[in-house]
Amino acid sequence: MREANKIICNQCERELKIEQGYLKEGSFSVDYAFGYFSSKDGVRHKFDLCEECYDKMVSRFRIPVEVTTNHELL
């Protein structure tokens, strides 16, 4: 778990549940710096999605996400 003060879903604007500085629900966080040969070369995008908005986003993919199971959660 990561320590957090406030996380808001960029899609639906819902504030995610945090207790004692720890996120207490599923979320998808992106921090991506575009590289060479991109129209966004040198630009960084950061955003968070709640689990429901993440599920809606990936449900529109033509190629499904690859899903595996982690047996140890840290």
Is residue 21 within 8 A of residue 5, CB to CB? The reply is yes
Is 71 inside a domain boundary? no
Q: Which residue range is the domain that position 8 belongs to?
A: 1-61
CA dist 50 and 13 (Å) reads 9
Asked whether residue 66 carries a pLDDT value surpassing 80, the answer given is yes
The answer as to whether 74 is a domain residue is no
pTM: 0.82
- Average pLDDT for residues 31-58, to the nearest whole number? 95
pLDDT at 14: 97
Does any domain span residue 73? no
Number of domains in the chain: 1
The pLDDT value recorded for residue 3 is: 58
**pLDDT surpassing 90 at residue 44:** yes
Determine the pLDDT at residue 1. Answer: 43
Candidates 4, 5, 10, 3; CA nearest to 28 is 10
Between 72 and 59, the more confident residue is 59
